[in-house]
Amino acid sequence: MSALISIDKKQVRQSFGSAALSYDGLATLQRKVGLELLDRASLNGQVVDGLLLDIGCGTGFLTQQLMSLCRAEQVVAVDIALAMLEVTRDKLKSSDKVRYICADAEQLPLMEGSVDSIVSNLALQWCQNLKETFNGFKQVLGQNGRLYFSTFGPQTLKELKSSWAEVDDYRHVNSFYSLSELETFLQNAGFTDISIESKIYQSHYSSVFELMRELKGIGAHNVLAGRNKKITTKADMQKMITVYEKLKVNKMIPASYEIIFVSAGVRK
């Protein structure tokens, strides 16, 4: 796969902006993954010197952890959705060590070599061109800077994908890069000392509608530019649900999430 996935960035911004108020009540997986990201990066309990960038900060959960668990010297919270950033600012308004930037991860308005570390939790899958995104990260990172991030892998929501595949040929679920593709993009951007690992998380829901409500509530809509933009018919929706419900175990449907954890360094 190329470094370019055709994503409707306007839809990304709108989806997450609309989800700002409902996000915290539904983002259990995002919090769990964020804590594991910090643990894998060995950042828990560490004093992080210099400037640390939290890209795709959402409603500020990881930003809070970086300020407390990691005792970061200064954090810049970045998000493409202004509404998300405003929620984060309200939560952390008592801290004078956090700055806020409403910006796209693919076009960071920062000076070359001005950042010591970049952390991003389940956000980079919404980037159009990861090759250029990683090039930009390398540019803003200073000497011996490090990048830590988690992102969704291609096995994410495989049950939902396979259920829709029984109904039509449209892509109803977002596409995600594989472990090997991400590693190649990082290498091509000039990152070194790359550590990359995949892990499957599985959640369970009482119904397909409960799963879909959660996805909507956290802003995880289908944002592929080539998606079917017509309204899904009730008949097609019911066909998909009927197929999905055949996967029930103990009256619960499963939903798999492949999480890829990455750590990479910069040598200048």
For the chain, which domains are there? 9-265 (3.40.50.150)
**Per-block average pLDDT, block size 10, for the chain (268 residues)?**
59 62 69 92 76 93 87 88 91 88 94 94 90 96 94 94 90 87 96 96 93 75 50 88 95 95 90
pLDDT of residue 1: 53
What is the reported pLDDT for 224?
42
Contacts of 52 by beta carbon, 8 Å cutoff, 6+ apart: 66, 70, 72, 73, 74, 75, 76, 115, 116, 117, 118, 119
Burial category of 7 from C-beta neighbours within 10 Å (exposed 0-12, middle 13-18, buried 19 and up)? buried
